[in-house]
């Protein structure tokens, strides 16, 4: 069978041999031998990209690569790129430039780029940058080993960015770490074509995995890999199942039955696809997080129309009301794009008004930046970047005031958190955990030596600001919560 790489797939099976003298593992693939090597990978952008990177690293293990954070040690450098925002795009280009020197210093260093930028601009970049060996799009990451093989076989300067056209979107989750948290991709692509967004062009049409496949996948993660918390991923995650007659609500009900699974989160949702069934599940599913991130983008109906968002502010606020009724403890967050094409003062004011009405616990806010190939790129835009910057700063300050008031009610409340790590604050080591409703809490351990990583603990919030919560450790449940 052809892989699309111009190489016969039966030649590409990996097998393992052990060097009798050094006892070193060697992987054989086709005519080539792969001794242990290192891959340095830099990921930009969203959780989907981070999840894809995990998948890539998992595959590369089969080709005898292990991950390194030291660029000097790397035999293979991979960038997983993001085309959604200027900031990550600029960072990627500056790092790609720096890698040129690393390649000059190290003979045989291979450099590849994947992700959204590679999907749309891979060919041009491979042509433009001499030190770039190959580029690969978002739908071919599962063939990474064949691509790396191809470069080692002497054939570089290629781009593979074809779309997967198989009937079903079917994958098994691959994780390359041993933690109780896992990303699970349930739908890829997006059919919405919001006027500012490049994602439908970089990730293609929506395609959902079958519900039973996802449920079996999660059961295996729980049973064999100790996973306790899953984040269901999709560019438009609550559109899940529209292409095959299933739904996110039904999937969440099934996942709620899995023994040993403690918590289910999902992201990112579109308000248009929040169904009444899904809202009801927020009230009934025991394992579903009491946090929902629901991007609104603007509080002005005229801006939402220009953005092609397919809902009004009134509809959005109605959804929040229904969600809060179904699940009174729900905590809501959102995304805001400030300064969309020709945004007027009064349209901006409408977004501030929405922040007052919605009472979000947190927001991610950005100044609009033009993305080539999108519909908004064709609109004549008279708003200056200075005005955008000013409005963004004002909005962020405004929201912090709201958050401060919301969080002032938290001291005294008790929460079960999964401890994710620790940090040093003012020279004092504090552990950090995430509540069911996605707030991060910092707290002191019982002793310097106590290792709480990946333990479930109970904490009482002692103080809270707009941006962080401090707590007091009450109980340690260990790595599993006993039911």
Chain positions contacting ligand SF4, by CB under 6 A: 190, 192-194, 197, 199-200, 235-236, 270
37-43 vs 65-67, strand pairing mode: parallel
Cβ of residue 273: shortest distance to ligand SF4, in angstroms?
Answer: 9
Pick the closer one to ligand SF4 by CB: 12 or 308. 308
110 vs 190, beta carbon nearer ligand SF4: 190
Given a contact cutoff of 8 angstroms between Cβ atoms, the answer to whether 126 and 156 are in contact is no
CB of 89 to ligand SF4, least distance (A): 16
Where does 96-194 show beta strands of DSSP type E?
A: 110-115, 134-136, 158-160, 181-185, 187-188
362 CA to centre of own chain:
18
User: Going edge to edge, which strands form the sheet with 263-267?
Assistant: 181-185, 229-233, 263-267
- Which residue, 158 or 311, is less far from ligand SF4 as judged by CB? 311
- What token pair was written down for 95? 């790092």
* Beta carbon nearer to ligand SF4, 122 or 271: 271
Q: Among residues 270 and 407, whose Cβ is nearest to ligand SF4?
A: 270
Q: How far is the CB of 237 from ligand SF4 (least distance, A)?
A: 10
Q: Give the strand pairing for 440-443 and 428-435.
A: antiparallel
DSSP 241-295: TTTTT--HHHHHHHHTT-TT--EEEEE---GGG--HHHHHHHHH-SSB-SEEE--
Q: How far is residue 87 from each of residues 44, 83, 90, measured CA to CA in Å?
A: 10, 9, 5
Q: How far is the CB of 330 from ligand SF4 (least distance, A)?
A: 21
What's the min distance (Å) between Cβ of 240 and ligand SF4? 13
Shortest distance in whole angstroms from residue 188 CB to ligand SF4: 11
Task: Give the nearest distance from C-beta 191 to ligand SF4 in angstroms.
Answer: 8
Distance separating alpha carbons of residues 127 and 113, to the nearest angstrom:
13
CA separation for the pair 462, 263 (Å, rounded): 24
Nearer to ligand SF4, 197 or 469 (CB): 197
Give the nearer residue to ligand SF4 in terms of CB position, either 197 or 354. 197
Q: How far is the CB of 60 from ligand SF4 (least distance, A)?
A: 28
Buried b (16+ CB within 10 A) or exposed e, 347-370: bbebbeebbeebebbbbebbbbee
Closest to ligand SF4 by CB, 332 or 417: 332
Vertex 245, ends 241 and 249: CA angle to 5°? 50
């Amino acid at each position: 069978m052809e892989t699309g790489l111009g190489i016969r797939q039966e030649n590409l099976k990996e097998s393992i041999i052990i060097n009798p003298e050094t006892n070193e593992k060697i992987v054989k693939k086709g005519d080539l031998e792969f001794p242990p090597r290192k891959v340095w990978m830099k990921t930009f952008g969203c959780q989907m990209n981070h999840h894809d990177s995990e998948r890539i690293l998992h595959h590369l293990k089969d080709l005898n690569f292990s991950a390194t954070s030291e660029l000097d040690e790397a035999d293979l450098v991979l960038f997983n790129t993001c085309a959604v925002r200027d900031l990550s795009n600029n960072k990627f280009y500056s790092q790609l430039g720096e890698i040129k020197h690393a390649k000059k210093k190290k003979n045989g260093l291979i450099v590849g780029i994947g992700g959204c930028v590679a999907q749309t601009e891979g060919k041009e970049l491979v042509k433009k940058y001499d030190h770039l060996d190959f580029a690969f799009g978002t739908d071919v990451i599962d063939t990474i080993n064949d691509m790396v093989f191809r470069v080692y076989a002497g054939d570089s300067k290629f781009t593979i960015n074809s779309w997967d056209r198989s009937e079903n979107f079917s994958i098994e989750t691959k994780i390359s770490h041993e933690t109780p948290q896992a990303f699970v991709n349930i739908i890829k692509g997006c059919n919405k074509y919001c006027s500012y967004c490049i994602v439908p062009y970089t990730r293609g049409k929506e395609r959902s995995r079958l519900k039973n496949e996802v449920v079996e996948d999660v059961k295996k993660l729980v049973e064999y890999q100790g996973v306790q918390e899953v984040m269901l991923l999709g560019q438009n995650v609550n559109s899940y199942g529209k292409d095959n007659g299933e739904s996110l609500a039904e999937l969440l009900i099934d996942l709620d039955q899995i023994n040993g699974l403690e918590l289910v989160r999902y992201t990112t949702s579109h308000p248009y696809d929040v169904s009444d069934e899904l809202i009801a599940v927020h009230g009934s599913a025991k394992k579903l997080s009491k946090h929902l991130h629901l991007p609104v983008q603007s509080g002005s109906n005229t801006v939402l129309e220009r953005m092609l968002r397919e809902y009004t502010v009134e509809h959005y606020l109605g959804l929040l009301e229904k969600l809060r009724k179904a699940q009174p403890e729900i905590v809501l967050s959102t995304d805001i794009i400030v300064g969309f094409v020709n945004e007027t003062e009064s349209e901006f004011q409408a977004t501030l008004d929405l922040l007052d009405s919605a009472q979000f616990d947190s927001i991610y806010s950005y100044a609009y930046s033009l993305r080539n190939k999108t519909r908004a790129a064709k609109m004549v835009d008279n708003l200056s970047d200075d005005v955008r910057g000013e409005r963004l700063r004002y909005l962020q300050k405004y929201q912090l005031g709201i958050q401060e008031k919301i969080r002032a009610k938290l001291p005294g409340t008790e929460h079960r958190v999964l401890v994710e790590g620790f940090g040093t604050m003012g020279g004092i080591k504090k552990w950090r955990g995430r509540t069911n409703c996605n707030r991060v809490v910092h707290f002191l351990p019982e002793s310097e030596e106590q290792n709480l990583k990946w333990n479930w603990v109970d904490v009482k919030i002692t103080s809270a600001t707009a941006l962080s919560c401090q707590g007091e450790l009450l109980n340690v449940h260990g790595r599993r919560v006993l039911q």
